[in-house]
A and B are shown apart, each in its own frame.
Chain A
């Protein structure tokens, strides 16, 4: 009897410990960034581009990286969506007779989902070399698009599969074509599409490896697709590698900016997911 009670307590303790480690490390990470970055956080950081000598501790901010990251993540998400929505509809509505093909496609995007982003970066870089492109906003967008497509397709595919088959049956039996039916289904899953967008954006904005070779880095805000673009993850990396304490502090402040952006996106997508499932119920 004593042994069973001990077991119960022991494993309960272990679970509690694991939970504390997880929530504790989240708290520690956010806490560290905040503690180290907050003193260097000021309006200049988010409203100015690096001035001369920014990287040895003089005036300026990381607006170039903020805007660059938003451009890259936004562009990649839009481009990715334009490719993923047709794929998800095609898988679910046009080739449903051929189970083997559907399963193969689903496996393909699951594999793509697991590929490390540095591989997408390298692949994107190869494509750029082929087309004679230099490190640029466009290059970054292409590489990050490759990265987010599997996320988008997977999310959209799952969301479309939750739509009851009666909805498609209803429009089809009114004499709608499959494309007209697809439009109704897309309308039904609007919150789901929004969730996919946010997930993709969140992943895109934080990824460093895919933009490392492809987007380059610049102290200016890019004014065309062919100019190199800075990104927040790279800005953090460069500043943290500096020996100057002031610059390192700004690195943490940049991390704080990125974390806040990602946090906002996560909270928004959480709200969307809840709304989507509530609407279904």
Chain B
């Protein structure tokens, strides 16, 4: 109980890393996100939950402007990252994206070796020295617990790894460009329970250094690892708050129904 209170307080006290103000997203004639206003705390795990098709992934993709690549998208409102509106016309998109590592639903290694996968990001951003890259690759592979498993076959194709290993490789690849935020889009849904467990523990470990935003439709997962939960339904944020509160004592009727499993 004491711990819960402490956690709740620390969430409230923590500074905001991403702040969404009046965000509206339309894709074609569909209004996907409606007037979103949320704050995502720094160095915490924040989970976006909600039924399929509610706009969770769309919301996540607005954070690193990946939504821009889809066709027929209209975005209005602001997304402030470190106080800077990433939708300002003059903003350099690649710099914003570099700030955030994305872990997608299915692991998607680049068509190259394990080593090159991790080194890809630093290389495109100008790191050429082999010694620096070697050190970086080892550090990130260790951070994701993959080093011991792959250190003897760094030059093997990344596609040879198991799905769980691939997902950790993708995480290491994202960490290699020193992001501040990790975005996870149902990152464990393609994985077996053991790999899921490994990834979840990694998230908990990584929140010391990074702010983590996860999209998940698994309530138990949200409960296991989140500090903060945002419940989205039909394109609107219904409730947002500390994980314990949203899951144990929801304030909104819709959240209650979702948590109890009445809305799926």
Contact = CB atoms under 8 A, between A and B. Distances in A.
Contact of A180 (B70, B124, B159): B124
Interface string B175-194: 00100000100000000000
A242 B71 CA distance: 60
Interface stretch (B1-9, B81-89, B95-103): B95-103
Contacts, number: 76
B255 interface: no
A173 B169 CA distance: 15
B174 A168 contact: no
Interface in B187-244: none
Contacts of B161: none
Interface residues of A, number: 23
Interface in A130-189: 164, 166-177, 180, 184, 187-188
Contacts of B19: none
A96 B125 CA distance: 25
A180 B177 CA distance: 15
A187 B120 CA distance: 13
Contact of A172 (B72, B97, B120): B97
Contact of B110 (A97, A99, A171): A171
A6 B235 CA distance: 59
A97 to B, nearest CB: 5
B201 to A, nearest CB: 23
Contacts of A4: none
A174 B173 contact: yes
B105 interface: yes
Contacts of B124: 174-177, 180
B71 A170 contact: no
A275 B29 CA distance: 41
A96 B73 CA distance: 11
B97 A164 contact: no
A98 interface: yes
A194 to B, nearest CB: 14
Interface residues of B, number: 31
Interface in A177-210: 177, 180, 184, 187-188, 190
Interface centre among B108, B112, B177 (most CB of A within 10 A): B108
Interface string A242-281: 0000000000000000000000000000000000000100
B104 interface: yes
Contacts of B111: 184, 187-188, 190
B46 interface: no
Contacts of A97: 70-73
A187 B110 CA distance: 9
Contacts of B170: 170
Interface of A: 96-99, 164, 166-177, 180, 184, 187-188, 190, 279
29 contacts: A96-B69, A97-B72, A97-B73, A98-B71, A166-B104, A166-B105, A166-B106, A169-B66, A169-B104, A170-B102, A170-B173, A171-B110, A172-B97, A173-B97, A173-B100, A173-B174, A174-B98, A174-B101, A174-B120, A174-B121, A175-B94, A175-B95, A175-B98, A175-B121, A176-B94, A180-B124, A184-B111, A187-B111, A190-B111
Interface of B: 64, 66, 69-73, 94-95, 97-98, 100-102, 104-106, 108, 110-112, 120-121, 124-125, 159, 170, 173-174, 177, 183
Smallest CB-CB A-B distances: 7 pairs: A175-B98, A173-B102, A166-B108, A174-B121, A188-B111, A175-B94, A166-B104
